[in-house]
Chain A
Amino acid sequence: GAVVSQHPSWVICKSGTSVKIECRSLDFQATTMFWYRQFPKQSLMLMATSNEGSKATYEQGVEKDKFLINHASLTLSTLTVTSAHPEDSSFYICSASDFNQPQHFGDGTRLSIL
């Protein structure tokens, strides 16, 4: 089956630093990638949708200047949390899809900001 690799799986860093999370589709071309955030005991919430070669579409309430998304190729999207603060600590999950086919999810990144 389709494989999506997400890296890193866990990151701990100091407040104020920037963190980059990578999402790769290993065996298919991902025309669309999605970034979700999940707080403890909450559902996954879509943060943004990115299509290869174009700007990401952010959901209401998600700061585009804080959560920078790049989808420069059909196999790679990155999410950069800029100037991270403790309230940004969460579980971030990406998914990838090829033209409205079912999404395939990465294993997630647990981000802890001290």
Chain B
Amino acid sequence: KQEVTQIPAALSVPEGENLVLNCSFTDSAIYNLQWFRQDPGKGLTSLLLIQSSQREQTSGRLNASLDKSSGRSTLYIAASQPGDSATYLCALGGGSQGNLIFGKGTKLSVKP
């Protein structure tokens, strides 16, 4: 059974700092990996999608990497801003119908 772990559970950084969020998984047989952002009481916003054949994806200040052999993914956020404050979720797609398995998330707080 696939298990997804996100470390740390919470992170507080000053504005402008670069940071890394971690995601680990137990089964490397994945279809893809996604990073989402969730604001309090809201749904999910997809940030980056990495197919199993890819190693990384970039969008603006965000860069996500995938290492299937070690069962790890990282989300790098450059020059963090207060508006980046949210919970970041890692999710693995592996089922035939595309259902996702989520980690518990990392709650990020960027202090001005």
Contacts and interface: CB of A to CB of B under 8 A. Distances in A.
Contacts of A103: 98, 100
A34 B102 CA distance: 13
A102 B46 contact: yes
Interface residues of B, number: 21
A80 B46 CA distance: 26
Contacts of A75: none
Interface stretch (B12-20, B36-44, B58-66, B68-76): B36-44
B99 A49 contact: yes
A34 B43 CA distance: 13
Interface in A73-107: 91, 93, 95, 97, 100, 102-107
Given A32-B98, A100-B98, A102-B34, A43 B43 contact: no
Contact of B102 (A43, A57, A104, A108): A43
A110 B99 contact: no
Contacts of B111: none
B98 A108 contact: no
B34 A6 contact: no
B105 A43 contact: yes
A4 B102 CA distance: 19
B43 A106 contact: yes
Contact of B89 (A6, A43, A95, A106): A43
A33 B5 CA distance: 25
